[in-house]
A and B are shown apart, each in its own frame.
Chain A
């Protein structure tokens, strides 16, 4: 009896499917495009965030169909059996799918497709590729930050040569575009094969920083440092910012290599920070570079309160002995001896130190004026443009806005403060041992953080505030340029310890 009822049920079900139920009208299938919008598409391999994306199926009268999804385009043949549509894919890896029409919707598994005209589907496709549907609050926030950088550069003249390229780079990097895992439009800086990605190669591989150092070497006059070598120690003292920030990052749970890359922000030297982070923590280059350059631009705001706090009014009035004139032989010997000594102690910093001293020898030798001119003008300008724009563009919101970046910004600010205080306190300590007109104005200790020439300019400004006739700029340049050497040596040491 049970068998009989089962047979009757199967016959009824079969007849119901083939005879009584309405069969699919082929005209309704082929008169437009079937669109589906569903969630579950990952933006890229590095994130778990998913977004909604469109899929479209086009049925042709010659019994073929095209399923156009985010990643690939599938072709196949369709056939109707009763109210079911069989989709056989040309790709043998894709199983045959069965679709049916319910309430004017084409249902394939869990996905429901709406019938739309070809023109509407085209518009939807165009809209999906514009910035509007892909924008997130993160993108908008970063664009505002980019505009703020440009504002600071134009309104207050804070490092305009850096902040304008970086600001524009931030805007470029945060123009939202269509993204999906396995789908490469070759637009974004993190997409392989894009123009921005090729330009960013120089940052990722640490090519730009040594070229910047070549230009810095060719434009720096080390004579104030050679005339009063003891001021060089202030450049070493201020590097305490690097090592304390390194410890701070370790405490916060960053790995040793990441902590080293974050610590170098305290060196207040953008190229050095990029060079070290490209070797130790390439995934953190963006936040580290932005932190380093932003705080360098904000040196006139960060340093003065600590200078006034640590250095007394009486000490700020100290007049320093004018530097002696330095012979040409000494100036030529400095890059050669300096390179030999520092590179032997820290060979890992050779790309930076080598280029810095090479650039300086081009300048001081006076027989390679053409090369020195190119290094300090055209070359450094070109590299600055490329570096600024790509570092800015690397702040793509979905990669950049993480809690790690926020911690890096916090640590970066702290490292600048520690470095400034370290230089000032050491200058005060030096004064304990110096006598008579050899005493130094402790304000120049703040210039030991490098950030050439901004921190020296801040020292001059603060010195003039205390005594309008006391010019400290030349004296401050000595710890300032020794800070550059010191931070490059520190980068080499961290590299050899942590890599």
Chain B
């Protein structure tokens, strides 16, 4: 390392690593996980709402809070799954990857 660790060193090093990076190609889409988890939670909590006892409802100020929260979570989960379905991630354009590889 010279006296100045310069901007150009970092640019070169990081650009090189970015060329070899596997995240863009291999990392899964988080929308699937959020959607899946919230659908599961939504179903569980909604069922708890349908089977709520009077004590549960009294505790929550007369609101069937499990039912409403469950439906809300279900809606969020479905939203993420629909979004994933409608707008899947485009795979990275192959020419960019090839270009980076050639530069190494």
- Whether both chains belong to one complex is answered with no
Task: State the A residues within 8 Å of B (CB).
Answer: none
Task: State the B residues within 8 Å of A (CB).
Answer: none
